[in-house]
Amino acid sequence: MKISAVIFAGALTVATSAASFADGERIIDLSYPYDDSTVYWPNADKLKRETINEGMTDLGFFYSAFKFSMAEHGGTHLDAPYHFDRNGQTLEQIPLENLVGDAVVIDVSAKALQDRDYLIGRADIEAWEAAHGRLPDGIILLFRTGWGGRYWPDAEGYLGTAERGQEATQYLHFPGLNPDAARWLTADRNVKAVGIDTASIDYGQSRTYQTHQILAAKNIPIFENVGYVDGLPETGFRIVALPVKIAGGSGGPLRIIAIVPEQ
Protein backbone atom coordinates (compact mmCIF):
# COMPACT_ATOMS: atom_id res chain seq x y z
CA MET A 1 0.00 0.00 0.00
CA LYS A 2 1.50 3.30 -1.06
CA ILE A 3 1.30 6.16 1.44
CA SER A 4 -0.07 9.16 -0.39
CA ALA A 5 -0.93 11.69 2.29
CA VAL A 6 -1.30 12.45 5.96
CA ILE A 7 -4.37 14.34 7.15
CA PHE A 8 -4.41 16.14 10.50
CA ALA A 9 -7.95 16.16 11.78
CA GLY A 10 -10.13 16.12 14.87
CA ALA A 11 -9.84 17.94 18.16
CA LEU A 12 -6.55 19.37 19.42
CA THR A 13 -3.51 17.76 17.78
CA VAL A 14 -4.77 14.21 17.22
CA ALA A 15 -3.86 13.04 13.70
CA THR A 16 -5.40 10.55 11.34
CA SER A 17 -3.75 9.17 8.22
CA ALA A 18 -4.94 8.66 4.68
CA ALA A 19 -3.37 6.24 2.26
CA SER A 20 -4.07 5.17 -1.31
CA PHE A 21 -6.21 2.03 -1.55
CA ALA A 22 -7.10 1.73 -5.20
CA ASP A 23 -7.24 4.07 -8.15
CA GLY A 24 -9.27 7.10 -7.08
CA GLU A 25 -9.69 6.01 -3.45
CA ARG A 26 -8.09 6.83 -0.12
CA ILE A 27 -8.31 5.45 3.42
CA ILE A 28 -9.27 7.57 6.43
CA ASP A 29 -8.66 6.24 9.93
CA LEU A 30 -11.80 6.82 12.05
CA SER A 31 -10.26 5.46 15.27
CA TYR A 32 -8.96 7.54 18.15
CA PRO A 33 -5.63 6.37 19.56
CA TYR A 34 -5.58 4.84 23.03
CA ASP A 35 -3.53 6.97 25.39
CA ASP A 36 -3.81 8.92 28.63
CA SER A 37 -6.39 11.28 27.09
CA THR A 38 -8.80 8.57 25.86
CA VAL A 39 -12.38 9.16 27.04
CA TYR A 40 -14.03 6.33 29.00
CA TRP A 41 -17.44 5.93 30.62
CA PRO A 42 -17.18 7.46 34.12
CA ASN A 43 -17.24 4.10 35.91
CA ALA A 44 -15.06 2.20 33.38
CA ASP A 45 -11.41 1.35 33.89
CA LYS A 46 -9.12 3.48 31.79
CA LEU A 47 -6.11 2.17 29.90
CA LYS A 48 -3.33 0.95 32.17
CA ARG A 49 -0.02 0.11 30.56
CA GLU A 50 2.97 -1.48 32.23
CA THR A 51 6.45 -1.66 30.76
CA ILE A 52 7.94 -5.13 30.65
CA ASN A 53 11.05 -4.02 28.80
CA GLU A 54 12.08 -0.92 26.88
CA GLY A 55 15.70 -0.48 26.00
CA MET A 56 18.89 -2.17 24.96
CA THR A 57 19.39 -5.81 25.86
CA ASP A 58 22.59 -7.43 27.10
CA LEU A 59 23.01 -8.79 23.57
CA GLY A 60 23.13 -5.32 22.06
CA PHE A 61 19.73 -4.90 20.39
CA PHE A 62 16.73 -2.77 21.31
CA TYR A 63 13.66 -4.59 22.60
CA SER A 64 10.32 -3.25 23.88
CA ALA A 65 7.26 -5.05 25.27
CA PHE A 66 4.33 -3.87 27.36
CA LYS A 67 1.15 -5.22 28.88
CA PHE A 68 -2.12 -3.36 29.20
CA SER A 69 -5.62 -3.62 30.64
CA MET A 70 -8.77 -1.54 30.16
CA ALA A 71 -12.55 -1.73 29.95
CA GLU A 72 -14.08 -3.21 26.79
CA HIS A 73 -16.14 -0.07 26.22
CA GLY A 74 -13.84 2.92 25.95
CA GLY A 75 -12.32 4.98 23.19
CA THR A 76 -13.35 3.98 19.67
CA HIS A 77 -15.01 0.63 20.29
CA LEU A 78 -17.67 -1.82 19.17
CA ASP A 79 -20.69 -2.90 21.19
CA ALA A 80 -21.48 -6.53 20.43
CA PRO A 81 -25.19 -7.43 20.54
CA TYR A 82 -24.49 -9.51 23.68
CA HIS A 83 -23.78 -6.23 25.49
CA PHE A 84 -27.56 -5.71 25.82
CA ASP A 85 -29.13 -8.99 24.73
CA ARG A 86 -28.65 -12.34 26.46
CA ASN A 87 -29.07 -14.17 23.15
CA GLY A 88 -27.10 -11.69 21.07
CA GLN A 89 -23.85 -12.36 19.26
CA THR A 90 -20.66 -12.00 21.28
CA LEU A 91 -17.75 -10.13 19.78
CA GLU A 92 -16.15 -13.03 17.92
CA GLN A 93 -19.53 -14.25 16.63
CA ILE A 94 -20.35 -11.12 14.64
CA PRO A 95 -20.15 -12.01 10.91
CA LEU A 96 -17.41 -10.11 9.13
CA GLU A 97 -19.90 -9.09 6.44
CA ASN A 98 -21.69 -7.01 9.09
CA LEU A 99 -18.49 -5.05 9.72
CA VAL A 100 -17.46 -4.33 6.13
CA GLY A 101 -19.46 -2.65 3.38
CA ASP A 102 -21.06 0.41 1.88
CA ALA A 103 -21.82 3.21 4.32
CA VAL A 104 -23.58 6.54 4.61
CA VAL A 105 -23.47 9.45 7.05
CA ILE A 106 -26.54 11.24 8.37
CA ASP A 107 -25.46 14.68 9.58
CA VAL A 108 -27.46 16.09 12.51
CA SER A 109 -24.68 18.32 13.83
CA ALA A 110 -26.58 21.59 13.24
CA LYS A 111 -29.22 20.41 15.73
CA ALA A 112 -27.09 18.30 18.06
CA LEU A 113 -24.50 20.99 18.74
CA GLN A 114 -27.31 23.23 19.93
CA ASP A 115 -28.86 20.63 22.22
CA ARG A 116 -26.73 18.37 24.43
CA ASP A 117 -29.64 15.97 24.87
CA TYR A 118 -30.63 15.84 21.22
CA LEU A 119 -32.38 12.64 20.15
CA ILE A 120 -31.84 11.72 16.50
CA GLY A 121 -35.28 10.93 15.17
CA ARG A 122 -36.97 9.24 12.27
CA ALA A 123 -37.49 12.67 10.72
CA ASP A 124 -33.71 13.16 10.54
CA ILE A 125 -33.32 9.88 8.68
CA GLU A 126 -36.22 10.62 6.34
CA ALA A 127 -34.74 14.05 5.59
CA TRP A 128 -31.54 12.30 4.48
CA GLU A 129 -33.62 9.92 2.34
CA ALA A 130 -35.44 12.84 0.75
CA ALA A 131 -32.06 14.11 -0.47
CA HIS A 132 -30.35 10.82 -1.29
CA GLY A 133 -33.00 8.15 -1.68
CA ARG A 134 -34.05 5.28 0.55
CA LEU A 135 -31.35 3.79 2.74
CA PRO A 136 -29.88 0.89 0.77
CA ASP A 137 -30.34 -2.60 2.17
CA GLY A 138 -27.35 -3.87 4.13
CA ILE A 139 -25.93 -0.38 4.67
CA ILE A 140 -23.62 0.67 7.52
CA LEU A 141 -25.18 3.80 9.00
CA LEU A 142 -23.10 6.47 10.73
CA PHE A 143 -24.51 9.47 12.57
CA ARG A 144 -22.54 12.72 12.67
CA THR A 145 -23.44 14.89 15.66
CA GLY A 146 -20.28 17.02 15.51
CA TRP A 147 -19.45 15.91 19.04
CA GLY A 148 -16.07 14.37 18.33
CA GLY A 149 -14.81 17.22 16.21
CA ARG A 150 -15.80 19.78 18.80
CA TYR A 151 -15.02 18.07 22.11
CA TRP A 152 -12.74 15.01 21.90
CA PRO A 153 -10.68 14.34 24.04
CA ASP A 154 -12.06 16.84 26.60
CA ALA A 155 -14.09 14.52 28.85
CA GLU A 156 -16.17 17.31 30.39
CA GLY A 157 -17.17 18.69 27.02
CA TYR A 158 -17.61 15.32 25.39
CA LEU A 159 -19.52 13.55 28.19
CA GLY A 160 -21.00 16.52 30.01
CA THR A 161 -18.93 15.82 33.12
CA ALA A 162 -15.32 15.13 34.03
CA GLU A 163 -16.31 13.37 37.25
CA ARG A 164 -15.50 9.70 37.65
CA GLY A 165 -17.38 6.83 39.27
CA GLN A 166 -20.91 5.44 39.13
CA GLU A 167 -22.47 8.59 40.60
CA ALA A 168 -21.08 10.64 37.71
CA THR A 169 -23.28 8.84 35.17
CA GLN A 170 -26.25 10.99 36.22
CA TYR A 171 -24.45 14.03 34.81
CA LEU A 172 -23.90 12.64 31.31
CA HIS A 173 -25.25 14.86 28.53
CA PHE A 174 -24.63 14.09 24.85
CA PRO A 175 -26.81 13.27 21.81
CA GLY A 176 -27.98 9.80 20.81
CA LEU A 177 -30.47 7.89 18.68
CA ASN A 178 -34.12 7.99 19.72
CA PRO A 179 -35.43 4.49 20.56
CA ASP A 180 -38.45 5.15 18.32
CA ALA A 181 -36.09 5.80 15.40
CA ALA A 182 -34.11 2.65 16.22
CA ARG A 183 -37.34 0.65 16.33
CA TRP A 184 -38.38 2.04 12.94
CA LEU A 185 -34.93 1.35 11.45
CA THR A 186 -35.00 -2.29 12.53
CA ALA A 187 -38.59 -2.79 11.35
CA ASP A 188 -38.68 -0.84 8.07
CA ARG A 189 -35.05 -0.57 6.94
CA ASN A 190 -32.19 -3.05 6.65
CA VAL A 191 -29.03 -1.69 8.29
CA LYS A 192 -26.25 -4.06 9.27
CA ALA A 193 -24.32 -1.79 11.66
CA VAL A 194 -24.82 1.62 13.26
CA GLY A 195 -22.18 4.06 14.46
CA ILE A 196 -22.02 7.45 16.15
CA ASP A 197 -19.42 10.06 17.12
CA THR A 198 -20.54 10.20 20.76
CA ALA A 199 -19.89 7.96 23.77
CA SER A 200 -23.10 5.95 23.32
CA ILE A 201 -25.83 5.27 20.77
CA ASP A 202 -28.25 6.09 23.61
CA TYR A 203 -28.18 9.71 24.68
CA GLY A 204 -26.37 10.62 27.89
CA GLN A 205 -29.43 10.85 30.12
CA SER A 206 -30.77 7.42 29.17
CA ARG A 207 -31.24 5.03 32.08
CA THR A 208 -32.76 2.05 30.26
CA TYR A 209 -30.62 2.08 27.10
CA GLN A 210 -33.56 1.17 24.91
CA THR A 211 -31.77 1.96 21.66
CA HIS A 212 -28.99 -0.46 22.59
CA GLN A 213 -31.60 -3.09 23.42
CA ILE A 214 -33.51 -2.62 20.17
CA LEU A 215 -30.42 -2.89 17.97
CA ALA A 216 -28.92 -5.75 19.99
CA ALA A 217 -32.12 -7.78 19.65
CA LYS A 218 -31.58 -7.71 15.88
CA ASN A 219 -27.85 -8.55 16.17
CA ILE A 220 -26.85 -5.13 14.85
CA PRO A 221 -23.36 -4.16 16.07
CA ILE A 222 -22.81 -0.60 17.29
CA PHE A 223 -19.72 1.57 16.79
CA GLU A 224 -19.22 4.27 19.44
CA ASN A 225 -16.74 7.14 19.79
CA VAL A 226 -16.18 7.01 16.03
CA GLY A 227 -13.60 9.66 15.19
CA TYR A 228 -13.05 12.11 12.36
CA VAL A 229 -16.47 11.66 10.75
CA ASP A 230 -16.59 15.40 10.00
CA GLY A 231 -14.51 14.74 6.89
CA LEU A 232 -16.67 11.97 5.46
CA PRO A 233 -19.06 12.42 2.53
CA GLU A 234 -22.72 11.58 3.13
CA THR A 235 -22.66 8.77 0.56
CA GLY A 236 -20.35 6.83 -1.70
CA PHE A 237 -17.82 5.30 0.69
CA ARG A 238 -17.13 2.01 2.43
CA ILE A 239 -16.35 1.02 6.01
CA VAL A 240 -14.06 -1.65 7.42
CA ALA A 241 -14.58 -2.01 11.19
CA LEU A 242 -12.51 -4.74 12.83
CA PRO A 243 -12.58 -5.14 16.62
CA VAL A 244 -10.19 -7.19 18.70
CA LYS A 245 -11.53 -10.76 18.46
CA ILE A 246 -12.29 -11.40 22.14
CA ALA A 247 -14.14 -14.68 22.67
CA GLY A 248 -17.32 -14.09 24.64
CA GLY A 249 -16.77 -10.34 24.63
CA SER A 250 -19.56 -7.80 24.99
CA GLY A 251 -17.43 -5.35 23.04
CA GLY A 252 -13.89 -4.26 22.43
CA PRO A 253 -11.46 -1.75 20.93
CA LEU A 254 -12.21 -1.02 17.29
CA ARG A 255 -9.99 -0.09 14.38
CA ILE A 256 -12.39 1.42 11.89
CA ILE A 257 -11.49 2.92 8.52
CA ALA A 258 -13.40 4.58 5.72
CA ILE A 259 -12.49 4.03 2.07
CA VAL A 260 -13.57 7.18 0.26
CA PRO A 261 -13.26 8.53 -3.28
CA GLU A 262 -10.42 10.96 -3.93
CA GLN A 263 -11.70 14.49 -4.21
CB 230 within 8 A of CB 258: no
**What is the tens place of the pLDDT at every residue in 24-39?**
899 999 999 999 999 9
Q: Look at residue 24 in the predicted model and tell me its pLDDT.
A: 86
Look at the alpha carbons of 52, 55, 61, 64 in this order and tell me if their dihedral is positive or negative.
positive
Q: What would the pLDDT profile of 105-125 be if each residue is shown by its tens digit? A: 999 999 999 999 999 999 999
Query: Does the CA dihedral 183-185-189-191 come out positive or negative?
Result: negative
- Return the pLDDT at 238: 97
What value, to the nearest 5°, has the Cα angle with vertex 220 and ends 228 and 261? 35
C-alpha span between 165 and 109 (Å, rounded):
29
At residue 87's C-alpha, the angle toward residues 85 and 88, to 5°, is: 65
At CA 137, angle to CA 253 and CA 213, rounded to 5? Answer: 50
Cβ atoms of 231 and 28 closer than 8 Å: yes
- Yes or no: say if 197 and 145 are a contact pair by the CB < 8 Å rule: yes
Q: What pLDDT score was predicted for residue 263?
A: 72
- pLDDT (0 to 100) of residue 15: 41
Which element (helix H / strand E) includes 147? helix 147-151
Phi-psi region of 193 (alpha: psi -120 to 50; beta: other; left: phi over 0): beta
Positions in the chain short of pLDDT 70:
1-22
Tell me the C-alpha distance between 104 and 238, whole Å: 8
Task: Give the per-residue pLDDT at 262.
Answer: 86
**3 state SS of 135:** coil
- Domains defined along the chain, listed by start: 5-41+72-261 (3.50.30.50)
Q: Are 43 and 169 in contact (CB under 8 A)?
A: yes
